[in-house]
Amino acid sequence: MKLLALLGVFLLVGVATSQDGARLLAAKNLLNEYLVEGKDVTVLYSIYNVGSSAALNVALTDNTFPDTDFNVVRGKLSVQWERIAPGSNVTHSVILQPLKSQFFNFTSAIVTYLPVEDGAEKSTFTSAPEQKGIVSLKEFDKRFSPHYMDWAVFAVMTVPPICIPFLLWSMSKRKYESSGVTGKTRKN
């Protein structure tokens, strides 16, 4: 009898957890290693359904990029999906351009969804990439450009210290050879 009661409890717990509905995990990642003023920054959103049923009316909203600091080049900061099947995922990317160099706190986006049909709306947050520095284009070029002009100036400046001693040696050698003195000495 106790075994039957214990089996019944396990079945009830199993049924209750299997009808949990959808459960979404969301991540927000910056794909650029360096964030540069005026250059494209790619933001990737990934949403995973780890629940037992499809998530319905999924909406991703990211209000963390103000118009005064960022320009949206491609994509949308608010998107919707009708459903995300259990065990599957969706991704969305946005390309932005920072308008000024500064430290910027990249915070979470909000994901809202229905875990079960006719259920209450749930919301979750994406992971937050953290605070990152946006460097100016001039500073980025100073650190990472190939510096062709610098190398050209270096080459021009190294020519005189190498060529002048060579010319002096060459002229003295010609003078020495034209005077008739040879390299052989006589022994008596």
Domain that holds residue 66: 21-135
Quote the tokens at residue 159: 């020519």
Which DSSP category does 55 fall into? Answer: E
Is 177 domain-assigned? no
pLDDT in tens, 80-125: 999 999 999 999 999 999 999 999 989 999 999 999 888 899 999 9
Residue 127 sits in a domain whose CATH number is 2.60.40.10
Q: Which residue has the tokens 């990211």?
A: 62
147 or 188, which is more confident:
147
Is 61 domain-assigned? yes
Is 73 domain-assigned? yes
Mean pLDDT score of the chain: 86
Mean pLDDT value of segment 66-71: 92
Strand, coil or helix: what is 145? coil
Q: What total of structural domains would you count in the chain?
A: 1
Confidence at residue 15, expressed as pLDDT on a 0 to 100 scale: 47
Is 30 domain-assigned? yes
Strand, coil or helix: what is 188? coil
Strand, coil or helix: what is 43? strand
Confidence at residue 118, expressed as pLDDT on a 0 to 100 scale: 85
Is 123 domain-assigned? yes
Quote the tokens at residue 28: 């927000």
CB neighbours of 84 closer than 8 A, spacing ≥ 6? 22, 24, 47, 49, 54, 55, 58, 90, 113
Strand, coil or helix: what is 148? helix
How far apart are the C-alpha atoms of 119 and 137, rounded to whole Å? 49
Q: How buried is 181 (Cβ within 10 angstroms: 0-12 exposed, 13-18 middle, 19+ buried)?
A: exposed
Confidence at residue 87, expressed as pLDDT on a 0 to 100 scale: 92
